[in-house]
Amino acid sequence: MTTLPNTEKGEAFMQRAIALARETVALASPNPQVGCVLVKGGEIIGEGTHLYANRDHAEIVALKQARERGIDVTGATAYVTLEPCSHHGRTGPCADALVAARIARAVVATEDPNPQVSGQGIAKLRASGIEVTLGILQQPARDLNDAFAHFIQNHRPFVTLKTALSVDGYLAPAPQTRTPNQPHWLTGPAARAEVQRLRHVSDAILTGIGTVLADDPALTDRTNQPRRRPLLRVILDTHLRTPLNSQLIRTANHDLLIFTAATASSEKIEALRKAGAEVEAIPEEDTQLRLTAVLKALAERQILSLLLEAGSHLNGAFLRQNLVDKAILFYSETELGSQSLPFAEGIASPYLFQQSLHRTTRTSFDTDACITGYLHDPWP
């Protein structure tokens, strides 16, 4: 008798595979987060995840674990959060390894959006007589790999705009009413901890020179959770005004990238490089750095996910150019008043903007509300 994969037990094994995949946050990129659970006789006989540093895919790790325990995997069921691959990349095809291992069934949460695989891994398994069930817990499995899915199809990072707003929809007090070099906090500690988590799940974070001068932010991932590569901190600074004594420069450690105009002064470039920043020229468009060129340069560095933590100007530019894929808006209970800075230049109200989001969720962090939603669905 075979247990049906869509029974509660089947779902529980897939839940376990998803939980395993979730643990690889910041350790799998630029590959997807994947988990695999091998089950025989109703028992888990092997488990695996993919860590980019270790090369082996999740299925291979799980097969090795079962074999190391001296267990024969013949006839087992593999629960995998992503379709087993069919191609030769840094490793051989997992579909072939599962066929060679003579498993009986595969339960797959979602197809691989990688055009080199998409459907072919499943086809390979089926052609070898392995029974494949597709789509168990598809949405939570996909949620783990939004950035991967977007990147592998569009060759551009998945951009998440994050902002903290007043209850009346403003980003910050007007500059003339503020103390320079000091951030103005709207949201509380719980929301700020969530922002740290958002930084942790991102490959890079980007802001503009305006925010650097106004807030002197560090833009670091302070979760103390392991990451395979440092969070790349990116500044758009057309005229190289980043102060040498800014927090960003003082904490630079092979993780600070300044994009500037081709016309930037070579002395300034030299000084910033000496201070530990990497400086790269980007073509201009209407006196601004071309954002599509910025995203292309980041893609070349294998940046799959980009967190935009910027001011009105860049928020507006990214949104107007339709380059934001997901938005996360925190609303505090504080009121700022109509003289304050807008959430995004050219966009009258964040509440109106929210109407254009899909798959919105509402949560709260103490007294702060959090609205998330997609502008583009990263999955095909």
Annotated binding site for Zn(2+): 57, 85, 94
230, 228, 232, 202: which is closest to 52 by C-alpha?
228
Q: Which residues are annotated as a binding site for substrate?
A: 219, 222, 309
Reported as half-sphere exposure (CB side, CA atoms, 13 A), residue 209 has a value of: 15
Question: Among 99, 117, 219, 336, which residue sits at the site for ligand AOF (rule: CB under 6 A)?
Answer: 117
Total number of residues shown for the chain? 380
Q: For the segment 54-73, give every residue that binds Zn ion (CB under 5 A).
A: 57
Task: Confirm or reject binding of residue 85 to Zn ion (CB under 5 A).
Answer: yes
170, 228, 223, 168: which is closest to 199 by C-alpha?
223
Q: Please spell the DSSP secondary structure of 331-372, one letter per residue.
A: E-S----TTSEESBTTBS-HHHHHTT-EEEEEEEETTEEEEE
Task: Confirm or reject binding of residue 130 to Zn ion (CB under 5 A).
Answer: no
Task: Confirm or reject binding of residue 150 to ligand AOF (CB under 6 A).
Answer: no
Q: Is 83 a catalytic residue?
A: no
Shorter beta-carbon distance to ligand AOF: residue 5 or 84: 84
The distance of closest approach from Cβ of residue 38 to ligand AOF in the complex, given in angstroms and rounded to an integer, is 13
From the candidates 47, 59, 83, 194, give the one annotated as an active-site residue.
Answer: 59
Select the residue whose beta carbon is closest to ligand AOF and give its number.
Answer: 89
**Residue 58 contact partner, candidates Zn ion, ligand AOF, none, CB within 5 to 8 A by sort of partner:** ligand AOF
Tell me how far CA of residue 365 lies from CA of 41, 68, 185, 217, in angstroms.
43, 45, 15, 22
Task: Confirm or reject binding of residue 34 to ligand AOF (CB under 6 A).
Answer: yes
Question: Among 47, 59, 255, 325, which residue sits at the site for ligand AOF (rule: CB under 6 A)?
Answer: 59
Shorter beta-carbon distance to ligand AOF: residue 84 or 373: 84
Quote the CA–CA distance of 299 and 158 in Å, as a whole number: 10
Contact 306, 207 (CB under 8 A): no
Structure tokens at 346: 């050219």
Active site residues: 59
Instruction: Please report, as ranges, the residues that interact with ligand AOF according to CB under 6 A.
Output: 31-32, 34, 50, 57-59, 82, 84-85, 89-91, 94, 112, 114, 117, 152
